[in-house]
Amino acid sequence: MSQRKALITGITGQDGSYLLELLLAKGYQVHGVVRRVALEDPEHRMSRILPHLNEVQLHSASLESYPSLHNVLARVQPDECYHLGAQSFVSYSFDDEFSTFNANINGTHYLLAALKEVAPRCRFYFAGTSEMFGLADEVPQNERTRFHPRSSYGISKVCGFDLTRNYREAYGIHASSGVLFNHESPRRGFEFVTRKITSGIARILAGQATELRLGNLEARRDWGHAREYVEAMWLMLQQPEPNDYVIATGESHSVREFVEVAFDHVGLDWNAYVRESPELYRPAEVNSLLGDASRARATLGWRPKTTFEQLVGEMLEADCRALGVAAPGISSAHHR
């Protein structure tokens, strides 16, 4: 059997980097779409995939340009395409709805339209999100739960989800969407709340900060480990028929609980450091998310393994180690 080829958009992000490693381990020839500027400054812009730069073929293209995506797909002729590239920060989507829509809606449309033209047998994965449920009217949320997005990010992902389903139904493309709940790791961007907390604690321990300013501490999320969630993406594209799958742990915690567990882990009292800042509240909040991944368990055989406490500990240890700080709960083993 010839070597399978995969193309990943968003390969420089948290999930892209874990997916790259998974596919390399499975013997794939991996191609990645990156922004042109990334190729000029790999040290900073490709930090998550630096160890694998000689094992992956990178192509510069823009999610805002149909011809550039068409060219890459025509040249690579992938068997599987994982579309992870997106403006993924919900807060920022309130500041700039336009760039969020351009990247997330047009980018998905251009990629699907090009796929249909030049690689119609390529299997396609769309990175859907629990933000599509937003103000959910049932708990827990599954594949049949109604969408009620609360940000332009959420709206853009509903549109990408609908585009993906429509290309499946109208043109027979093997196109699947993962509806992934929040997933984190030591590679999470610093702007997301979990990494903001663990890196903030490391800075406090290192004497570089005296407080941690956060927004809404009562928001609840279903947090899992990114390394496990990219396995679900791959499993979706191995199924004979395309479908949509919720991927979640089935357990939810508040931001406050994340804070408590994290500060506890290093023996600090969080009340002495955390300030709740109303200016960090969102204009429309998604208060609570909890996923039901029964379909993924039954059909893909997928289930989460990392516990909430293990996730917090792994992220904290990595951030403390990066700053060379020691603390009661921090071991010397290396995780990444």
Gyration radius of the chain's alpha carbons = 20
Binding to ligand G4F in span 155-194, by CB under 6 A: 181-182, 191-194
Instruction: Decide: is 72 part of the binding site for ligand NAP (CB under 6 A).
Output: no
284 C-beta neighbours (distance < 10 Å), count: 13
Burial bucket for residue 294 (CB in 10 Å: 0-12, 13-18, 19+): middle
User: What does the block give as tokens for 82?
Assistant: 């994982």
Residue 225: CA atoms inside 13 Å, Cβ hemisphere, count? 20
* Cβ neighbour number for residue 295 with a 10 Å cutoff: 18
Give the shortest CB-17-to-ligand G4F separation in angstroms.
14
Query: How does strand 220-221 pair with strand 253-254?
Result: antiparallel
Indicate if 231 belongs to the active site: no
Q: Which of 5, 6, 7, 16 binds ligand NAP (CB under 6 A)?
A: 16
The only residue of 15, 80, 222, 260 in contact with ligand NAP, by rule CB under 6 A: 15
**Is 198 noted as a catalytic residue in this protein?**
no
- Number of residue whose CB is nearest ligand NAP: 13
Tokens describing residue 325: 């700080």
* Residue 230 C-alpha from the chain's centroid: 9
Closest CA to 112 of 165, 153, 35, 61: 165
CB distance 164 to 176 below 8 Å? yes
**CA gap 213, 94 in Å, rounded:** 19
We find the least distance from the C-beta atom of residue 299 to ligand G4F, in angstroms, to be 22
Residues in a beta bridge with 123: 80
Piece of 20-28, 83-91, 289-297, 321-329 that binds ligand NAP (CB under 6 A): 83-91
Q: Which does 38 bind (CB under 5 to 8 A by kind): ligand NAP, ligand G4F, none?
A: ligand NAP
Q: Which stretch binds ligand NAP (CB under 6 A): 85-93, 204-212, 266-274, 312-320?
A: 85-93
- Should residue 236 be labelled a site residue for ligand G4F when binding is judged by CB under 6 A? no
Should residue 189 be labelled a site residue for ligand NAP when binding is judged by CB under 6 A? yes
Residue 176 contacts ligand NAP per CB under 6 A: no
Q: Does 164 bind ligand NAP (CB under 6 A)?
A: no
Instruction: Give the CA dihedral 180, 186, 191, 192, nearest 10 degrees.
Output: 40
Which is closer to ligand NAP, CB of 257 or CB of 264? 257
Smallest separation, CB 1 to ligand NAP (Å)? 29
- Is 93 an interacting residue with respect to ligand G4F (CB under 6 A)? no
By annotation, the residues acting in catalysis are 129, 131, 153
Binding site for ligand NAP (CB under 6 A): 10, 12-16, 35, 38, 45, 63, 84-88, 103, 127, 129, 180, 182-183, 189
